[in-house]
Amino acid sequence: MPFEALIDADMVAYSIRVPAPDVVFVKGLLEASEGLAAVFAVKGGDLVLAAPRSQDAELRQFIAELRIELNLEVEPNVE
């Protein structure tokens, strides 16, 4: 099942690209963030982070911190 089928109007999703070796690092950070978002691996370091709209601000903050830490590329919402 494609991840797009799991994302509905009550969710936000962001496409990010991290170096492939950092995928496990990002997944670990999300797990430590008490379920902030689900992570879907598209290929290599291309990921989609999805969360309920109620957690959009927290997810944006998480991504902003990753952007600094990993020199992250972020694409607009996937909706």
Q: What is the pLDDT of residue 41?
A: 87
CATH number of the domain bearing residue 64: 3.30.70.370
Q: What is the pLDDT of residue 36?
A: 93
Chain-wide mean pLDDT for the chain? 84
In this prediction the pTM is: 0.81
Q: What is the total count of domains within the chain? A: 1
Residue found by looking up tokens 């950070």 in the block: 29
Number of neighbours of residue 63 by Cβ within 10 angstroms:
16
> How would residue 55 be classed by pLDDT, with cut points 50, 70 and 90?
very high
**Exposed/middle/buried for 26, CB within 10 Å: 0-12, 13-18, 19+?**
buried
Tell me which residue range forms the domain holding 48.
3-77
Taking the CA atoms of 16, 20, 22 and 26 in sequence, report the sign of the dihedral they define: positive
- pLDDT (tens digit per residue) in 12-48: 999 898 888 999 999 999 989 888 999 988 888 899 9
